[in-house]
Amino acid sequence: MLLDQFKSFVRENVPLAPYTWLQLGGNAKYFAEPVDAEQLQRLVAEASRHSIAIRLLGGGSNVLVKDSGFDGLVIQLIAPAFQKIGIQGNRVTCGGGVRLSHLVTACVANGLAGVEHLVGIPGTVGGALRANSGTEEGDIGHAVREAQMLRRNGDLVNVTGNQLAFSHRRSSLDELAILEATLELQPGDVKYLTKREQTFWILKRSRQPNHPTRSALAFIDPDGESAGELIHRTGFSGLIEGSVQMNATHPNYITAGTGATADQVLALLEKVKKGVHEKTGVRLQPHLVVW
Ligand SMILES: Cc1cc2nc3c(=O)[nH]c(=O)nc-3n(C[C@H](O)[C@H](O)[C@H](O)COP(=O)(O)OP(=O)(O)OC[C@H]3O[C@@H](n4cnc5c(N)ncnc54)[C@H](O)[C@@H]3O)c2cc1C
């Protein structure tokens, strides 16, 4: 294969469905799990040299893979080198492959406040930083002070201060891979923070489908409005396309059933987007990233 020299950690024709929450879509031409940043850098530089398209996969909770699959290289930061959490005073440095839930738990256990409201958001820290994930209580971006990313040519870049920009579900961390980030949090009482984390967890569970696997958040909340509220008001909650449905109780979630396809998800999203626009004038933007 083109990436022959990396065959110890690159596989070919790997089904991507098991790696995503919707469990849909075709194969990746190449799938890599590098053991450390140096291996990752060499792989990315070589793939770029051959003009191979590259995507970073986190927890797969916000990705829809097309039925035709992805004709390129998918990389997952699953190795221990990308899973480190280090705490110094009120600063937490965290690998891009760390589960967001692990980061939240580590901060709470160490008496650091500021991310406990993110409990229950699936995926990795890298995915959360890319989308500036959050809740009404705030997003992850407000706490970020520094980040290390990998560019498509294999170069590393550190960003800090005013190079960091976060807005609603958007961030300036848009290089190929977010390898690490440092968050600044506030000191807090462990018992109090644990209670807060539990309360947010209960709240989060009440606001998403009961069995969230095979679900995804469909649209970004438009300015000052809730996408779910708009979908409900315009009569599109519960809408079905093949084996895919807009959740009837939590209208901004899309759920895939047996026999679902990525094409059905795309068709349903398009119908809802078009319908909401026709009825309200609001253009919903997709939350899901399509590969
Ligand atoms: C049940 C459910 C509930 C959810 N609740 C919320 C919520 O309350 N708030 C919210 O904001 N979102 C929510 N989401 C959406 C989703 O969980 C978030 O967007 C999450 O942060 C995505 O992380 P991930 O690791 O799964 O990313 P993926 O789905 O794997 O990837 C999403 C995007 O991020 C990029 N990416 C992933 N890792 C990296 C990295 N290390 N470097 C660079 N790019 C990377 C991918 O290339 C892709 O473009 C929910 C989703 C589900 C299914």
The values of phi and psi at residue 179, to 5°, are: -90, -30
Nearest ligand 1 atom to the CA of 176 is: 43
* Active-site residue identified among 130, 169, 196, 214: 169
The residue whose C-alpha atom lies closest to atom 9 belonging to ligand 1 is: 134
Question: In the chain, which residue ranges form alpha helices assigned H by DSSP?
Answer: 37-49, 100-109, 125-131, 190-206, 227-233, 262-280
What is the distance between the alpha carbons of residues 234 and 228, in angstroms, rounded to a whole number?
Answer: 10
Spacing, Cα 4 to ligand 1 middle (Å): 31
Task: CATH number for 83-206: choose from 3.30.465.10, 3.20.20.300, 3.40.640.10, 3.40.50.620.
Answer: 3.30.465.10
Domain segments of the chain: what residues?
A: 4-79, 83-206, 215-290
Q: Find how far residue 285's CA is from the centre of its chain.
A: 16
Please give the chain's pLDDT, 291 residues, in tens: 667 889 899 999 999 999 999 999 999 999 999 999 999 999 999 999 999 999 999 999 999 999 999 999 999 999 999 999 999 999 999 999 999 999 999 999 999 999 999 999 999 999 999 999 999 899 999 999 999 999 999 999 999 988 999 999 999 999 999 999 999 999 999 999 999 999 999 999 999 888 777 999 999 999 879 999 999 999 999 999 999 999 999 999 999 999 999 999 999 999 999 999 999 999 999 999 999
Nearest ligand 1 atom to the CA of 21 is: 53
Q: Do domains 83-206 and 215-290 have the same CATH topology?
A: no
Domain 4-79 has CATH 3.40.50.300: no
Nearest ligand 1 atom to the CA of 215 is: 53
Ligand 1 within 6 A of 216 CB? yes
Task: CATH number for 215-290: choose from 3.90.78.10, 3.40.50.300, 3.40.640.10, 3.60.21.10.
Answer: 3.90.78.10
**285 C-beta neighbours (distance < 10 Å), count:** 13
**145 C-beta neighbours (distance < 10 Å), count:** 14
User: Could you tell me which of 57, 70, 66 has the C-alpha nearest to residue 266?
Assistant: 66
